[in-house]
Each structure stands twice: as structure tokens, then as C-alpha cells.
């Protein structure tokens, strides 16, 4: 892939991921958490499913099952854990835990897909994670919310590797559409069983849902899956460290949240971590066995 195109897609995907936290916080004032993400992904997936109908759809039950499993991990698992964890811990801590998933991608990729990474790439992952902690202020509690936050990272890492393993079976648009639709429907079911659904219609809540569904879901996931299908999942996932950084910036722009000095230091760590994970040092990458 052309390097400039790759960088543009990375910025689009991670900035939309990060800004979705601020927009989601706005929406939570009017819609209960699981219902909000359920509506978001069911709407996004439904619109895309209509668009890709009869366009290279899976022809076998196993392939439909693969799409369902990806949606269960990428949309249902990640979003349910994120929003349930925020009931007991701050959203910043949830973000920290969620975006440590690149380390899990490297670990699980090595264990199950036999992907190999050099020592300095592991160091880059650790530095990137440290940057996320610095950016968000070193705040971490051990609670039920903490485990749910870790669960979101594990679920996302599994989904990343499943997309790398199965993603070539589907077009990017079909994969994006149906994993969101299946995941969104499961989230609506969870809303009915794990919370008391609340929905308040007004201009602000409608704009928040449309932003999250169209830009924060359709555009974000399409760009992200395209990047995963074209590159190494561990290296690509390293760019997820940018998402909480963009989240801080969008919180400043949209919610008036104060940016502390340590955010800039954390940002430098994040960029250094991304550089190390993606740097080959002039050598060819180690091939998987």
C-alpha cells in the first residue's frame, strides 16, 4: 500500500476512534449505555448491509458464522465491556485498558498465528502503552470495571487476529457491514437484559447517534479493516495508541476538558512506540513459520 495512503487511513481511523469517546459521552446524557452502542452499530450495520446486498456476500454457513464471531468480539465484546466498565471506573481508565490491546495482539499473534517480532518492536509496544498511561494521568484502580476494561482489550485483540485470519474471505465492506449488524443486535439484546433502557429524542442525541453510526462506525471500521487486511496486525495495531491521544484532544475541543502537561509527554512516548514497532531497521521482517 502507498505509504501516504496508509498514513491518511491510520489518522482517519484512530481520530474517529478517539473522538467517539467524547461524542459518546455527549450521547450518554440522553441514552443508556448499551442501548446507545446497540443503536449505533445496528443502524450502521443495517445501512451498510442494504448497500452491499447481493454484492459478494458469503455463500456458506461457515462464512456467515465467521462474520458473526468477528462481530461478537469486535463490536459486542469490546463495546459492552467498555460501557459497562465505565459504570465503576472513569472513562480515561477504560480507555487506557482498551488501547493496550496491541500488546495482546503481539502476544496472541505469536502464540496462535506464529508471527514473529523483534526485541525492539516489543520495546516499542511497552513504550506505547506507557505513553497511554502518561497521557491519561497514571490513574488505575483494581475493581470490576478494571477487569471489564481488560476484557475489552482481549476481545479487540482476538477480533484483530480473526480479521487477519478470515478477512480475505470477504470484501472490506461486507465484513464491516455484517460484523457491526450482528454485534449491534447482540448489544440491543444485552441492553434489554443488563440495564434499564432509556432513550431521549432531541437534536443533540440524534446528531450524536448519526456521528457515531456513520463516521465513528462505518468509516472507522472500513478504514481499519482495510489496514488490517493489507499489513501486519501487530504493527497496524500499534497505531491504536494514537486513539486515546485523539480522544484527549476531542475532549478538549468538544467538552472543554483541560489538557495537562503530561499529555504532551505521553504523546511523545506514543509516537516513539509506534516508530519502534513499525521500524524494520533496514532489515526484512522475520517471516512467520
**Cβ contact 198:35 at 8 Å:** yes
Residue predicted with more confidence, 120 or 36: 36
Q: Model pTM?
A: 0.77
**Cβ contact 222:244 at 8 Å:** no
**Cβ contact 110:103 at 8 Å:** no
Q: What is the DSSP letter of 216?
A: I
Coil/strand/helix, residue 103? helix
Measure CA of the first residue to CA of the last residue in the chain; give whole Å: 24
Residues 187-244: pLDDT tens digits? Answer: 999 999 988 889 998 999 999 999 999 999 889 888 887 887 777 766 777 777 688 7
**Cβ contact 225:184 at 8 Å:** no
Coil/strand/helix, residue 81? helix
157 alpha-carbon distance from chain centroid: 9
Q: pLDDT value at position 150?
A: 83
Q: pLDDT value at position 284?
A: 43
CA distance 71 to 186: 9
**275 pLDDT more than 80:** no
Going by pLDDT thresholds of 50, 70 and 90, the confidence category of residue 51 is confident
CA distance 220 to 179: 13
Q: What is the DSSP letter of 202?
A: S
List C-alpha distances in Å: 248 to 7, 40, 244, 245, 264. 20, 22, 6, 5, 11
CA distance 217 to 206: 15
CA distance 109 to 160: 9
**Cβ contact 61:234 at 8 Å:** no
Question: What is the average pLDDT score of the chain?
Answer: 82
Amino acid at each position: 500500500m502507498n505509504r501516504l495512503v496508509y498514513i491518511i487511513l491510520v489518522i482517519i481511523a484512530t481520530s474517529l476512534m478517539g473522538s467517539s469517546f467524547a461524542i459518546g459521552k455527549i450521547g450518554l446524557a440522553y441514552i443508556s449505555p448499551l442501548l446507545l452502542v446497540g443503536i449505533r452499530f445496528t443502524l450502521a450495520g443495517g445501512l451498510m448491509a442494504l448497500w452491499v446486498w447481493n454484492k459478494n456476500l458469503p455463500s456458506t454457513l461457515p462464512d456467515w458464522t465467521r462474520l458473526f464471531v468477528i462481530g461478537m468480539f469486535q463490536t459486542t465484546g469490546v463495546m459492552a465491556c467498555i460501557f459497562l466498565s465505565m459504570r465503576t471506573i472513569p472513562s480515561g481508565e477504560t480507555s487506557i485498558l482498551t488501547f493496550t490491546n496491541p500488546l495482546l495482539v503481539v502476544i496472541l499473534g505469536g502464540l496462535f498465528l506464529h508471527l514473529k517480532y523483534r526485541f525492539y518492536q516489543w520495546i516499542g509496544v511497552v513504550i506505547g502503552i506507557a505513553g497511554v498511561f502518561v497521557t491519561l494521568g497514571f490513574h488505575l484502580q483494581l475493581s470490576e470495571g478494571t477487569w471489564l476494561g481488560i476484557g475489552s482489550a482481549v476481545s479487540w485483540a482476538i477480533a484483530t487476529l480473526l480479521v487477519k485470519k478470515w478477512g480475505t474471505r470477504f470484501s472490506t465492506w461486507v465484513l464491516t457491514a455484517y460484523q457491526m449488524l450482528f454485534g449491534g443486535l447482540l448489544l440491543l439484546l444485552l441492553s434489554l437484559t443488563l440495564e434499564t433502557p432509556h432513550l431521549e429524542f432531541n437534536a443533540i442525541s440524534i446528531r450524536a447517534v448519526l456521528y457515531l453510526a456513520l463516521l465513528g462506525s462505518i468509516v472507522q471500521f472500513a478504514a481499519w479493516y482495510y489496514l488490517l487486511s493489507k499489513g501486519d496486525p501487530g504493527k497496524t495495531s500499534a497505531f491504536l495508541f494514537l486513539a486515546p491521544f485523539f480522544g484527549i484532544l476531542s475532549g478538549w475541543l468538544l467538552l472543554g476538558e483541560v489538557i495537562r502537561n503530561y499529555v504532551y509527554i505521553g504523546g511523545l512516548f506514543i509516537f516513539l512506540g509506534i516508530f519502534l514497532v513499525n521500524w524494520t531497521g533496514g532489515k526484512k521482517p522475520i517471516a512467520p513459520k
